[in-house]
Amino acid sequence: MKRPELLVPASSLEVLKVAVIYGADAVYIGGEAFGLRAKAKNFSKEDMREGIAFAHAHGVKVYVTVNILAHNRDLEGVREYLQELKEIGPDALIIADPGVFMLAKEICPEIERHISTQANNTNYLTYQFWYQQGAKRVVSARELSMEELRELRAEAHRQFDKLYKHGYMSKHDAYQWLGGILSVPAKQAHIAQLSLLSCNLVIREAKKQVNWYHMRKMAALQQTQEGDVKAS
């Protein structure tokens, strides 16, 4: 099973280096503008560049928060900031505002876009929406209860179970498929052990797979009907 990522906030270059040295898989930081880490010292452009270089030299990722809820007056500054981040090269941007997300997708599409907890992501359809827009990660709202998180796993199970319960494939093949999308052996592909990120992946991909089978079935039926018409 894929190991969870140890993601650590860093309020300064010194804290980033300590987190990297002591085993963080990734660090998230804020710049001097356009983030909601208001009480943190945050990073100048020069510190950000040095911190990212240090982290990458140790195999650690760096995510930058650009998670303000932007007003019209902010947009030009956000655009310029994203141009700077494109040149600096963090591993991902943490975003809350759909407008900022669109700008990031336009200006620096090569940088992953993660959806901040500040976007209040409280249901699996919201997660699906963001993934369809190209987000690589969606952070759940802090207000979600454990019961609601269990519901997300239950929805992943419901969508996955359709693959074999509705006859699209055998149960054995379904678990082989699940292992494939999770990049783990089929014997280790258990939804009860998945992260929220992986649950959303299963929901999305299972729906796509069912739709593909349905479209193939409809196409075959149409061909049969056309053949019957010609024969008559």
Q: Where are the domains of the chain?
A: 7-144, 147-231
Give residue 14's pLDDT.
95
pTM above 0.75?
no
Give residue 15's pLDDT.
96
Give residue 81's pLDDT.
95
How does pLDDT run across 167-198, given as a tens digit for each residue?
Answer: 889 999 999 999 998 888 888 888 887 877 78
How does pLDDT run across 128-162, given as a tens digit for each residue?
Answer: 889 889 998 888 888 777 787 788 889 999 999 99
Q: Which H or E run includes 173?
A: helix 171-182
Distances (CA, A) of 39 to 11, 154, 164: 9, 38, 51
Q: 105-119 in b/e burial notation, b at 16+ Cβ within 10 A? A: bebbeebbbbbbbbb
Give residue 148's pLDDT.
79
Assess whether pLDDT exceeds 60 at residue 1: no
Rounded to the nearest integer, the mean pLDDT of the chain is: 88
Structure tokens belonging to residue 65? 């928060």
Reported as a pLDDT band with limits 50, 70 and 90, residue 217 is confident
Q: Which CATH superfamily is domain 7-144 in?
A: Aldolase class I (3.20.20.70)
